[in-house]
Chain A
């Protein structure tokens, strides 16, 4: 039966996206880019918004956070979330791999329980407990975010690995792949979109939660918020909150793009 060689247009665009051969200016139409530009612009120009905030809140002095640059706050914030998320991702995936092996199957419920405890334990309480043990600074926040991020990552990684069809695993073993080859070439690539979704949740929530780290000496975009709350300075709260929200949205949109890229190859 003769078949048309030209792929269906939709299929073609999907393929192009997967292979990174998108149309040259297509990226201009993605919201992630525009929100990112807005975020960076706001980050850099926030100190120049003094007159606006002064006009809106004349009694607040100074009208803009001045104890450091927003860029420095952002870098510290991103660093804390980044380190905690990387650590949670690494442990989460290793744990998920372990409990989905025949040898680790019995530990499944224990790992699930531990991850759930990590999630239900409020990060503020983790901070309160961590500070006496490890002191002020960014580290307690990293610990709190790490514990908080484990659950979605472990759960998604386990779910992702378990969605690999048994027939696929059977075929891989039957053709002589070693357990390690099955993991690296079949299970993890197929689970990747689901694992990434878990990381996305952990990171996005982590960006918001990291702000409370400012109460125990971590520099984050939450610092102006808590300064504002403490000194009854609404503009500082607004500045910090706007930047945190935008930061979370940009990150989320970027993860969405990344998931899109992973998905066409493993659709179904």
Chain B
């Protein structure tokens, strides 16, 4: 630094050292204020996301009290209403993850085994309905239209047309069911509730829990608790719409896990209006393969016999039923275990769907499924059946067992299959 020479009189002595920083003339937020804008945006977004559920869960005590008996009666008596809506089906069965290969996000009923699935439901409350399982870019639809039914899978562009033999049309009329039974049918809250409440009074304790909101609608909660202590099912909670008296949500809780329902099927969005005709009818697209299936209907005599069966316990050959109600165990004999698994994993989906009231009807369906339909083998892709078996069934003395939070399956080495909502040990005991 040179010294001297240049005048020393500093600037600071003559000019005020700190002029006002120029005040914001018009607009201009300070830098800090500017960074507050994204913060506010983030908070607003967060509020928009978190807000509605917070509000929805508040203040749901406005419904008049109802007794469990009244509620069950209302639900059972109430005719199915016309409605349309979106249903989310979630299974947390605690099954080992099943390597079904690619297409995890595609619309295949197999995917109902685990995780979450979205279905869309339209019904006129009578004999016409459509249920569609939605994949990311695919769809599996089941359309019931009077005495015929269709399934359509967008993945393989395959149509299956179920019809009733014309001779049986009169019987169908009399049965007044939803028409022909469809393989690979999809779960709805109504079906699940129907099954849960079927024998509710005899085998379970029924109570009314607090009120709740499902799909933005007020609902009562009906809790069905098995009287049995050996079943894996802890309780079934049915949320019933407070004005339409139709089930909006069914949760099946495992006895072993009280944090989340093991199985849940419920509306996320529902509207009680008759859907348009276009969704309740189906005509196969040009160029699609249509597989015709004629569903034989039982004659009146057979129906009578079937009703008799219910009480007598007479079953098709090879099927034995142990226990009753929640503890029912179905035993199938003479099954090629590996082949069955390879043949149709949908069988397990069926199982789970009918699980709470597994009975002779379910057993029949199960038998058909385990019998296997050769065409379904394509669904398995390149998966080695024995590897699959290894991955989900762990060996026990005398066979292999599949365990989940809600049901167990025992595959014995001598070719029997035992299925029930009980512990694997119970199954082993029965075997």
Does A associate with B in a complex?
no
Q: Hey, which bits of chain A sit against chain B, CB under 8 A?
A: none
